[in-house]
Structures are given as structure tokens and as C-alpha cells.
């Protein structure tokens, strides 16, 4: 089987879907699958054992030429379109891409198309989003008509779009951590704490990600405040590009105990994750298989505390219930954080349970194996 994965960028470009494609391609190649990465122009990293064509994607009408040419050159059995509408166009609508995929399929009747949906379309929260979302829904509907298999990163999205294509296989498949674990020693952890200005007796709450409102940074700060008010020597370490926004929102009395890093490369991010003692990862729509920041915490063996919302996959509540509270239960997150901060044995138990869940469902070999099994099933149809 020969797979061609389309995404505009790969590492080191800061692009989550590019990271996903890179880390997925490695175990595909290791499994003996011929794997070609199709990208736009750039000096990207190519996983060991994979082929790479950086002339496959161009923004605008030029993709009508570049993508069919790339497909003709590599002749894959499957073209896997990594899909988020904004990945291929500023406003999330690119009819040229849809036409280019159609041309590639017409020119190669044996070519099969799989779509991996990392996002579907904008929700109609306001007039602007409603207009954008209408075009994005049309775009997704046309793409679905050309696919043989559709993957979505969470269960809810598979359920949402299955009625659009009742006869097509539409299956949830998770996303893994894009922060590989780079273990450091206890001495290195102590040195990093000193570098951050956190005293030896300080207890480190951690959070990781961007400043997006869906990450509930206000709740993270409230939980931090409540633990300080409870007399615990708590410090908050925030890793990621949302540092400036968090500083601005932090009450003045808490700022001496807030430590931010800004954006870090994966190796540095892994080192900083390892000094965290309790990891806060609340989401407005709930934890799910697409939340790579929370998954990175699990991969690093941290006790991860999060929320249950409308996007939460069913297995989280079945296999990870102790560490979750309802999105509306703000006091609940504080309660969990207090329990963890005051009970080292509980922290160890919850961290181990989360790590086992990650190893079971979210490692890249497991994700690649799930995808390959599905593609093999539908290769002959």
C-alpha cells in the first residue's frame, strides 16, 4: 500500500496538523507502508523512511496544477487529505483545492481518497462565522462525496457528519501528543526550577497551550488563586504562546507566583512539563481526543485534571472519570486540584491511570495501526 498525505506544512513550522502528519508518517513507514508527504514549498523535516514532495500544494488556483502533478508523479493508492478548512485558505474556503482533488481522482481512477478531519466548519456563533461556516459546510459536503473513508479526531464530529454521507465509513481516530518525551534527571529538574525562580518547597501547578478562550484560562487562574488562599505554596507554570494574555489576566497579588515561558520548541516543552506536579487542562467543550496539550500531559505521566463537555469522547468518562468535572463545575476543578496537591499517593495513582490511557489509545503506532487497518479494509472496495 502506498499512502500520500497532504498538508501544507511540516515541522519545524509551528503547525499542529503538520506535527500530526509528521508523527503519524513515521510509524506508517516503520510498518513497511510506502509513505509520501505532499506539502507546499518550505524547508521542512521529512520523517525517516518517507518520501517528500514540497511542490504539491500552492494557495489559490495554482493548486489545480501542482496537486494533480504530484499525484501523477508518486502514484499512491490512497491520498489522505489532512483537513481543517483554515489550513488551506485564510477564510477556510478553497474551491481550487476541491477541484484539484477531483482532477487527481479523475486522472487516476484507482486512486482512493481518505479525509482526516481535524476541524469541520465554523459554528454559527455570529453573523461572520455563520457566513464562513455556510461556505465551509458546502466545501466539506463536496469533499465527502469524493471520499472512500472519512476519519474525524473526535466521536462527536463523526456522529455529526454521518447523516451527510450515510453509506460512507466515518470513523473517529485520535490525535497523539506532538511533544515527544525527552526525559531529564532529578538534578536537571531541580536546576530548571531554580532557573524559573520556583523555590524547592513550591508546589507547581501547570498549564500548556495558547490563549484561545476555549482553554478556560480564567478557570485556571481561579483554581490557582483558591489554592493560594488555602495556604498552599503553589506556583503556576504556564507553557505556551498564551503567556502574555495570562499575565495580563492574572490578579496582581498572584503575579509573583506565576511563571510563563512563551512558545517553546518540543524538547524544551518536554523538559518544562516534567517539573509540573498537577496539570490543569480545562476546555470549554471538554477534554477530547483532539486536545494535544492534555495528551502531552498524559504522555509525560502527569496527573491531568480536565472538564467534561459536549465534545468529550465517551471513553474519557469510562476510563478517566476521577480526574474530570463538568465544564460548569468551577468549584469541582479546585476540589480536584486541592486533593492532588495534598495527597502525593493520589497524584501518583491518577498520573499512572492517565499514562495507561495514553499508551492504550494515543501513541502514534496505535493511531497508525488503527488507520492502516481501516484503509486495508476499504482498499478493495
Domain contains 181? no
Q: What is the DSSP-derived secondary structure letter of residue 16?
A: H
> Count of CB atoms within 10 A of residue 163's CB?
8
Q: What is the mean pLDDT of the chain?
A: 94
pLDDT of residue 296: 96
pLDDT of residue 82: 96
Same domain, 23 and 80: yes
What is the value of pTM for the model shown? 0.91
User: Which stretch of DSSP H or E encloses residue 229?
Assistant: helix 217-229
Same domain, 111 and 214: no
Residue 50, C-alpha cell as written in the block:
518517507
pLDDT band at 40 (very low <50, low <70, confident <90, very high): very high
pLDDT band at 152 (very low <50, low <70, confident <90, very high): very high
Q: Is the pLDDT score of 271 beyond 70?
A: yes
pLDDT band at 213 (very low <50, low <70, confident <90, very high): confident
Same domain, 165 and 151: yes
DSSP-based three-state secondary structure for 203:
strand
Q: How many CA atoms lie within 13 A of 91 on its CB side?
A: 11
Distance CA 8, CA 38 (A): 8
pLDDT of residue 381: 67
Are 230 and 344 contacting, i.e. CB atoms less than 8 angstroms apart? Answer: no
Number of domains in the chain: 2
Q: Is the pLDDT score of 209 beyond 90?
A: no
**Residue-number span of the structural domain to which 227 is assigned:** 186-361
Q: Is the pLDDT score of 184 beyond 90?
A: yes
Same domain, 157 and 277: no
Same domain, 310 and 210: yes
CATH of the domain at 369: 3.40.50.2000
Per residue in 48-79, pLDDT (tens digit) is 999 999 999 999 899 999 999 999 999 999 99
Same domain, 240 and 338: yes
Per residue in 275-291, pLDDT (tens digit) is 999 999 999 999 999 99
Burial of 164 (C-beta count, 10 Å sphere; 0-12/13-18/19+): middle
Amino acid at each position: 500500500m502506498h499512502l500520500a498525505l497532504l498538508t501544507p506544512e511540516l515541522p519545524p513550522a509551528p503547525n499542529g496538523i503538520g506535527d500530526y502528519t509528521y508523527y503519524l508518517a513515521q510509524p506508517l513507514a516503520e510498518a513497511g507502508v510506502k509513505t509520501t508527504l505532499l506539502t507546499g514549498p518550505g524547508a521542512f523535516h521529512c520523517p525517516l523512511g518517507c518520501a517528500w514532495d514540497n511542490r504539491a500544494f500552492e494557495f489559490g488556483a495554482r493548486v489545480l496544477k501542482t496537486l494533480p502533478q504530484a499525484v501523477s508523479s508518486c502514484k499512491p493508492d490512497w491520498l489522505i487529505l489532512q483537513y481543517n478548512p483554515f489550513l488551506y485558505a485564510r477564510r477556510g474556503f478553497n474551491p481550487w483545492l476541491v477541484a484539484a482533488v477531483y482532477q487527481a481522482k479523475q486522472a487516476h481512477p484507482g486512486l482512493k481518497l481518505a479525509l482526516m478531519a481535524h476541524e469541520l466548519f465554523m459554528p454559527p456563533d455570529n453573523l461572520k462565522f455563520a457566513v464562513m461556516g455556510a461556505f465551509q459546510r458546502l466545501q466539506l459536503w463536496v469533499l465527502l462525496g469524493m471520499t472512500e473513508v472519512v476519519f474525524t479526531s473526535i466521536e462527536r464530529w463523526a456522529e455529526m457528519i454521518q447523516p451527510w454521507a450515510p453509506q460512507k465509513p466515518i470513523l473517529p481516530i485520535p490525535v497523539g501528543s506532538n511533544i515527544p518525551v525527552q526525559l531529564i534527571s532529578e538534578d536537571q529538574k531541580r536546576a530548571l526550577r531554580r532557573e524559573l525562580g520556583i523555590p524547592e518547597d513550591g508546589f507547581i501547578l501547570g498549564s500548556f497551550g495558547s490563549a484561545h478562550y476555549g482553554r478556560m484560562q480564567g478557570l485556571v487562574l481561579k483554581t490557582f488563586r483558591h489554592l493560594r488562599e488555602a495556604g498552599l505554596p503553589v506556583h503556576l507554570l504556564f507553557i505556551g504562546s498564551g503567556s502574555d494574555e495570562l499575565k495580563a489576566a492574572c490578579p496582581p497579588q498572584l503575579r509573583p507566583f506565576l511563571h510563563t515561558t512563551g512558545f517553546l520548541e518540543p524538547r524544551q516543552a518536554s523538559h518544562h512539563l516534567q517539573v509540573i506536579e498537577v496539570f490543569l487542562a480545562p476546555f470549554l467543550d471538554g477534554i477530547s481526543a483532539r486536545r494535544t496539550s492534555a495528551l502531552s500531559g498524559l504522555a509525560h505521566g502527569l496527573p491531568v485534571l480536565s472538564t467534561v463537555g459536549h465534545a468529550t469522547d465517551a471513553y474519557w468518562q469510562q476510563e478517566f472519570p476521577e480526574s474530570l468535572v463538568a465544564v460548569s463545575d468551577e468549584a469541582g476543578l479546585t476540589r480536584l486540584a486541592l486533593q492532588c496537591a495534598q495527597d502525593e499517593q493520589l497524584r501518583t495513582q491518577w498520573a499512572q491511570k492517565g499514562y495507561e490511557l495514553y499508551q492504550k489509545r494515543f501513541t502514534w503506532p496505535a493511531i497508525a495501526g488503527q488507520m492502516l487497518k481501516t484503509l486495508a479494509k476499504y482498499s478493495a472496495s
